[in-house]
């Protein structure tokens, strides 16, 4: 037993010595400013928010410790169920519409032999537009009058006009369409990079066997991109759950709270009511919910992602 302990200590000492000789201390010193800055601006606000969620404060006067009362007040708010329901509905619609679009577009661009660069640039173009500017442009396009851009196009085929953002039924899908257009460019570029890593011999062998584009996509592309697809789906779910700019600028949460999201409710708590403790409590609940969703998702897809 004593021999094993001495052996373990000597092994640990040799690892420390090897780390020292290989420049571990120098590397740590170079990384220290980045670690400090990242910790101060990223992790310290998280720790501070946990403390703030237990206080009743407006960030002007000294806060009062109230324990879990902020969480109880948030959970008792009738608007919470509306905001959560709208956010979940927004997420589901976004996944159904927005998840396959970048993948199919990336596959299409990847098939372009001579215009691949132009296709990539055009796909990424919506991302360059500032988010608020893009939302305002789409808000103009969603003009409910017969002379609005989208209603004019629908009029060519004998449809419309539609009250895009003024209808409790159409407002949420309309925002999803705009958000999908604004965000699919980055995901498309990621899928294009992943497609470049797929061995070309697989496609050549499939073509020699007479496989068409559809079969090559189903039997080669999808299995090869399975890991990145699962990761992008998780990132999309997390991102859509935090949707704020689009409904805030387009509808303000209306009509009749049909587009009120969790982040908009947090905004109302903080900047309309002025109750930052309540807003922080809901933020903590959102972070906890997304953490649970992420853990469950990663556990459920651990075999598929290999």
- pLDDT 10s digits, 69-87: 999 999 999 999 999 999 9
Question: Which pLDDT score is estimated for 282?
Answer: 92
Is pLDDT larger for residue 209 or for residue 13?
209
| Phi, psi values for residue 243, rounded to 5° | -65, 135
- pLDDT 10s digits, 212-231: 777 877 878 888 888 888 88
- pLDDT 10s digits, 147-187: 889 999 999 998 878 999 999 999 999 999 999 898 888 88
Return d(Cα 301, Cα 63) in angstroms, integer: 43
Q: Place 250 in a pLDDT band, splitting at 50, 70 and 90.
A: very high
> 158 with 238: CB under 8 angstroms?
no
Mean pLDDT on 238-247: 90
Question: Which pLDDT score is estimated for 23?
Answer: 67
Q: Place 9 in a pLDDT band, splitting at 50, 70 and 90.
A: very low
- pLDDT 10s digits, 94-139: 888 888 888 888 888 887 877 888 888 888 888 899 989 999 999 9
Mean pLDDT on 55-75: 85
Q: Place 3 in a pLDDT band, splitting at 50, 70 and 90.
A: very low
Map out the domains of the chain as residue ranges. Answer: 1-42, 70-300
- Give CA 278 to chain center in angstroms: 24
Is pLDDT larger for residue 306 or for residue 13?
306
Return d(Cα 152, Cα 142) in angstroms, integer: 10
Return d(Cα 9, Cα 15) in angstroms, integer: 10
Question: Which pLDDT score is estimated for 81?
Answer: 94
- pLDDT 10s digits, 255-286: 899 999 999 999 999 898 888 889 999 999 99
> 57 with 64: CB under 8 angstroms?
yes
Q: Does the pLDDT at position 53 exceed 60?
A: yes
- % residues pLDDT > 70 (the chain): 92
Least Cα distance to 106 among 217, 212, 203 occurs for: 217
- Output the six-digit token pair for 200: 């070309």
CATH number of 70-300: 1.10.3720.10
């Amino acid at each position: 037993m004593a021999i094993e302990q001495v052996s373990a200590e000597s092994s640990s000492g040799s690892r420390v010595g090897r780390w020292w000789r290989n420049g571990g201390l120098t590397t740590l010193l170079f990384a220290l400013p980045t670690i400090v800055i990242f910790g101060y601006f990223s992790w310290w606000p998280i720790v501070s928010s946990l403390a703030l969620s237990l206080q009743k404060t407006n960030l002007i006067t000294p806060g009062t410790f109230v324990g879990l009362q902020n969480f109880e007040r948030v959970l008792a708010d009738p608007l919470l169920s509306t905001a959560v329901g709208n956010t979940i509905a927004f997420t589901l619609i976004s996944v159904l519409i927005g998840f396959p679009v970048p993948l199919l577009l990336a596959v299409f661009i990847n098939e372009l032999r001579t215009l691949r660069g132009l296709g990539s640039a055009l796909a990424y173009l919506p991302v360059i537009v500032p988010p608020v500017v893009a939302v305002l442009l789409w808000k103009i396009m969603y003009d409910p009058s017969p002379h609005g851009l989208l209603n004019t196009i629908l009029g060519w085929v004998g449809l419309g006009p539609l009250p895009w953002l003024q209808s409790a039924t159409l407002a949420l899908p309309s925002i999803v369409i705009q958000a999908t257009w604004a965000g699919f460019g980055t995901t498309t570029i990621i899928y294009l990079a992943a497609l470049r890593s797929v061995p070309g011999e697989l496609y050549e062998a499939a073509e020699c066997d007479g496989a068409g584009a559809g079969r090559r996509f189903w039997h080669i592309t999808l299995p090869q991109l399975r890991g990145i697809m699962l990761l992008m789906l998780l990132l999309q779910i997390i991102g859509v759950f935090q949707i704020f700019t689009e409904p805030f600028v387009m509808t303000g949460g209306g009509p009749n709270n049909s587009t009120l999201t969790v982040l908009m409710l947090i905004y109302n708590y903080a900047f309309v009511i002025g109750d930052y403790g309540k807003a922080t409590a809901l933020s903590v609940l959102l972070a906890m919910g997304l953490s649970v969703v992420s853990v469950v998702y990663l556990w459920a897809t651990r075999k598929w992602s290999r």
